[in-house]
C-alpha cells in the first residue's frame, strides 16, 4: 500500500525544465506514479494566475520526496535552480528525500554541462544567489540517482 500524502500536499514534487522533458519523460513518470497511487505535483498543476514565487516552494515543502530531472537545459532556468535550492534546504532539515534523475547526462557532467548557463546567470543575478545554485547543483550531483542515457 503506498504511503498517504501529507495533508494538503503531494507525495512527490517534480522539478524539471519543461521544454526538455515535460511532454516526454515527465508525463510518463507522472502516469507511472499515478498508477501506483502516488500523488505528484509539477508546475503545470498550478492554477492560472497563482503567484509561483510562493506556491512552488510551498508545494516542495509539503511533499515527501522531490524528483529532480536534470536535463541539458535545467540550469538555464532560474526557476528550476530556485526549486533545487528549496529541495536542498528541505532535505537538510530532514523528513524530505531528493531523487535525482540524470536525463541524457551523467552526474559527472553536471558541473561542466551547466557552466555556460551559470556564467550567464552571474551577469544577471547576485553572487549569493548564483553561489546557492552552484552549491545545490554540486549537492544533487552527489546523490545516488538514476541515469537515463541519451538514445544511441
In a domain, 118, yes or no: yes
pTM: 0.89
In a domain, 131, yes or no: yes
Helix H or strand E encompassing 101: strand 97-103
Q: Which residues pair with 148 in a beta bridge?
A: 103
Residues marked as catalytic? 83
Q: Is the pLDDT of residue 22 over 80?
A: no
CATH number of 20's domain = 3.40.50.10140
Listed as own residue / partner, the contacts of 31-39 with beta carbons closer than 8 Å and 24 or more positions apart are: 36/2, 37/1, 37/2, 38/2, 38/11, 38/12, 39/5, 39/10, 39/11, 39/12
Query: Domain range holding 67?
Result: 12-148
pLDDT digits (tens, 9 = 90+) for 44-63: 666 666 677 888 899 999 99
* Residue 101: all three cell numbers together: 534523475
In a domain, 70, yes or no: yes
* Domains identified in the chain, total number: 1
Residue 149 C-beta-side C-alpha neighbours within 13 Å: 2
Amino acid at each position: 500500500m503506498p504511503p498517504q500524502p501529507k495533508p494538503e500536499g503531494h507525495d512527490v514534487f517534480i522539478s524539471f525544465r519543461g521544454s526538455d522533458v515535460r511532454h516526454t519523460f515527465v508525463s510518463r513518470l507522472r502516469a507511472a506514479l499515478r498508477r501506483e497511487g502516488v500523488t505528484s505535483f509539477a508546475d503545470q498543476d498550478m492554477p492560472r494566475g497563482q503567484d509561483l514565487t510562493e506556491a512552488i516552494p510551498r508545494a516542495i515543502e509539503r511533499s515527501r520526496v522531490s524528483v529532480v530531472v536534470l536535463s541539458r537545459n535545467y540550469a538555464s532556468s532560474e526557476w528550476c535552480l530556485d526549486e533545487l535550492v528549496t529541495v536542498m534546504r528541505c532535505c537538510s532539515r530532514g523528513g524530505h528525500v531528493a531523487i535525482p534523475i540524470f536525463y541524457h547526462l551523467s552526474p559527472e557532467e553536471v558541473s561542466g554541462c551547466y557552466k555556460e548557463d551559470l556564467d550567464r546567470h552571474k551577469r544577471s543575478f547576485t553572487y549569493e544567489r548564483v553561489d546557492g545554485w552552484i552549491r545545490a547543483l554540486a549537492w544533487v550531483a552527489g546523490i545516488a540517482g538514476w541515469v537515463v542515457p541519451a538514445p544511441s
